[in-house]
């Protein structure tokens, strides 16, 4: 049985990589969850709307937002 890969919402191509999640406990006993990316990851999951977009299709891949949400959040229009 083949598992479906994640697909970029813009270009429709498969993406690579993912996220590793670790549970840690601080010295004071506070529980903590650490989310780290795998070195081969080539996509973001938008921090605002949660769509998946590959770095190639993203105008601002370092922002963590898809192009639509980035434009809304950083809009300079005063409409």
Residues of the chain with pLDDT > 90, as a percent, come to 81
Q: How many other C-beta atoms can be found within 10 angstroms of the C-beta atom of residue 55?
A: 13
Q: What angle do CA 9, 46, 57 make, to 5 degrees?
A: 45
Using a 10 angstrom Cβ sphere, with 0-12 exposed, 13-18 middle and 19 or more buried, the burial of residue 4 is: exposed
> Which tens digits make up the pLDDT trace of 30-54?
999 998 989 999 999 999 999 999 9
């Amino acid at each position: 049985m083949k598992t479906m890969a994640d697909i970029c919402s813009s270009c429709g191509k498969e993406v690579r990589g993912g996220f590793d999640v670790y549970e840690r406990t601080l010295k004071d006993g506070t529980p903590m969850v650490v989310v780290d990316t795998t070195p081969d990851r080539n996509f973001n999951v938008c921090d605002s709307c949660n769509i998946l977009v590959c770095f190639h299709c993203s105008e601002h891949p370092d922002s963590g937002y898809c192009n639509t949400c980035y434009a809304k959040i950083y809009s300079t229009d005063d409409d």
